[in-house]
Structure 1
Amino acid sequence: MSPWRMTRWERGDLPPGSDTDSSPSEPATWADEPERRHEALVSVRLGPSAPGSHLVEYLRHEPCAVAAWWIAADVDAVVRLSAGSITVLHRAVADLRLRAGVEVAEANYVLRALDLTTPAGPRTAKGTSAWVVSAA
């Protein structure tokens, strides 16, 4: 999504309805509210003359780098980046393209996590059986 179409809250500003006139003793966010993190999974293809060790060394010093994996696919690696604001996250993706010897970096920004712990209800199970066919 273009940064011009994002709401102020998506860019890292306070969410709508937040009290900006609170006294200095009061926190701007609630204590039980988790800190909002912006994340991206970046598919990376190294340039023909860039060694993989250069990417690894760069990621070790990049504060937004959370994890990375070598991939056996059209790309060489997938890098997980995380930042407190979307602006910092965009900068980390741009720096990865410019400074890490990366030829192609395709960023996929994480919107929200899927809840895989909640079991499907009976209504979902009935709907699922209609399209599930035995492989035998």
Structure 2
Amino acid sequence: MSPWRSTRWERGNLPTGDEPAGGPDEPVTIPAGPERRHEALVSVRLGPSAPGSHLVEYLRHEPCAVAAWWIAADVDAVVRLSADSITVLHRAVADLRRRAGVEVVVAHHILRALDLDTARGSAPAWAEPAA
């Protein structure tokens, strides 16, 4: 196993206990797991010995990594992580520090999305344009 990946047991991808209906040559179909509900946006800064390609390669193999962006700011990148449990999410953030060789500047846990699709009539008074 690659040193950059945790096992499926560590990431919470436990077997369902369902045995395949056919014999050993039949393909195994695993039912869709629970929806990932725990997410975080993590700002990272590359360490002196960690090139950007190292971070990208690590994130390609990280099961919790959903998306990442290079940032032109005080930090080098922002990574979006998603997991089935908060424990697995904390582990993924810690793995960024240990295995990817980056400094985690700050991790923001996502609570819920903002509803930006409000109807024109339901906008608050301060949001209405002055006519």
Q: Same fold (TM over 0.5)?
A: yes
Paired position in structure 2 for 1:57: 57
CA contact (8 A) 1:39 1:81 kept: yes
Over the matched positions of the two proteins, sequence identity in percent amounts to: 80
Paired position in structure 2 for 1:6: none
Alignment map for 1:1-136 (pairs within 5 Å): 35=35, 37-122=37-122, 124=124, 126-129=125-128
Distance 1:36-1:64 versus aligned 2 partners, 3 A rule: closer
Distance 1:86-1:112 versus aligned 2 partners, 3 A rule: same
What is the distance in 2 between the residues matched to 1:123 and 1:103? 41
Matched positions, count: 97
* Structure 1 letter corresponding to 2:56: V
* Structure 2 letter corresponding to 1:107: A
What is the distance in 1 between the residues matched to 2:113 and 2:103? 29
CA contact (8 A) 1:83 1:89 kept: yes
- Could you report, residue by residue, the CA deviation over 1:103-131 in whole angstroms, capped at 9, with x for unpaired residues? 2341000000001112253561x3335xx
- Could you report, residue by residue, the CA deviation over 1:15-74 in whole angstroms, capped at 9, with x for unpaired residues? xxxxxxxxxxxxxxxxxxx83510000000011121000000000010000000000000
The runs of at least 4 aligned residues of structure 1 exceeding 6 Å deviation read none
Distance 1:76-1:61 versus aligned 2 partners, 3 A rule: same
Distance 1:112-1:54 versus aligned 2 partners, 3 A rule: same
- Computed over aligned residues only, the root mean square deviation of the Cα atoms, in angstroms, reads 2.0
Distance 1:128-1:66 versus aligned 2 partners, 3 A rule: same
What is the distance in 2 between the residues matched to 1:69 and 1:123? 32
What is the distance in 2 between the residues matched to 1:39 and 1:104? 16
Can you give the 5+ residue segments of structure 2 that lack an aligned partner in the other structure? Answer: 1-33
After TM superposition, the score normalised by the length of structure 1 is: 0.64
What is the distance in 2 between the residues matched to 1:84 and 1:61? 17
After TM superposition, the score normalised by the length of structure 2 is: 0.67
CA contact (8 A) 2:75 2:105 kept: no
* Structure 1 letter corresponding to 2:42: V
Q: CA deviation at 1:101?
A: 1.2
Can you give the 5+ residue segments of structure 1 that lack an aligned partner in the other structure? Answer: 1-33
